[in-house]
Amino acid sequence: MDITPHNIITSKTARYYTAGKIDASARELWFIIHGYGQLAVEFINEFPYLASEGSAVAAPEALSRFYNRSRPGASWMTKEDRENEIHDYVIYLDLVAEEISTHLNSACRFNLLGFSQGVHTAIRWFCKGKPEFTRLLMCSSDIPGDLEYNALLKRSKNSALYYICGRKDEFVSPATFEAGKAVLEENGVNYEAVPFEGNHRVNHELIRSLAASGSK
C-alpha cells in the first residue's frame, strides 16, 4: 500500500499574556518563552520585576497542549514533522511581536528569554524571526544541534547573549553546559556564560540583576 504524506495550512487560535504597560511609555519589552509542560500564565507570574516602570513583559504560549501529570501543559514542538512545527511557531511569534508593536514606540527595545525547551524556540526565533533583540538569555538548556550559526552571528552583532545554567541542574549536566559553551565559542559567538548554584529553574535573582544592568 502506497502512503503519501500531505500538509495543509489551517488557522489556529493561540494565546499570549502580557504584564506591565504595553504603550508608548515602555522603554523595553521582554518576551519570555516557557519550558516544556508549562503554561504561559504560570510562567509570566514568575516575572513581576520585568513589568516595572518603563518595562513590560509578554509570554506567548506554545501551540500544542497536552495533559502533563493530569494538568494542562504546553509544548513548542516534538521531533515529528519538526521543520513545519519550527516554521509555524516562528510565524506565530512574529505575529505576536507585530501585534504588540502597534502599541509601542519605535525606540522600545526588545529582549528575549527562553527557559528549558523554550531556549531552542527562543534561539530559532532570534535567528529566523523578524524582531531584532537587544538581549538573548538562554536559561537551563543545551544548545540545539541544528543551530544556524551564520544567522546567529549576523543577528547578534548588536545584541548581548547570555548562557545561564545551574551547576546542579538535573536535566542539563555540567558536561552538557560545557559542550554548549564550547560549540558557541567554536563558531565565534560572542556571549557570556553565567553558571549559578542551583537546579533546573529560572534564577530570578540573576535575571533581575541582568535586567537592571541593561536597562540604564
pLDDT digits (tens, 9 = 90+) for 11-40: 999 999 999 999 999 999 999 999 999 999
Q: What does the pLDDT read at residue 88? A: 95
- Inside any domain, residue 2: no
Tell me, yes or no, whether 107 lies in a domain: yes
Q: Is the pLDDT of residue 56 over 60?
A: yes
Decide if pLDDT at 214 tops 80: no
Q: Is residue 200 part of a domain?
A: yes
| Residue 28 pLDDT | 97
Q: Let me know: does 32 contact 58? Beta carbons within 8 Å.
A: yes
| pLDDT of res. 195 | 97
Beta bridge partners, 38, equal 74
For 111-146, write each residue's pLDDT tens digit: 999 999 999 999 999 999 999 999 999 999 999 999
Tell me: pLDDT of 215 over 80.
no
By residue range, what is the domain housing residue 48? 16-214
Digit-coded pLDDT (tens) for 150-180 = 999 999 999 999 999 999 999 999 999 999 9
pTM to 2 decimal places? 0.95
**What CATH number has the domain bearing residue 125?**
3.40.50.1820
Residue pair 210/169 in contact by the 8 Å Cβ criterion: no
Query: How many domains is the chain built from?
Result: 1
Under the banding of pLDDT at 50, 70 and 90, the label for residue 216 is very low
- Whether 3 maps to a domain, the answer reads no
pLDDT single digits (tens) 69-93: 889 999 999 999 999 999 999 999 9
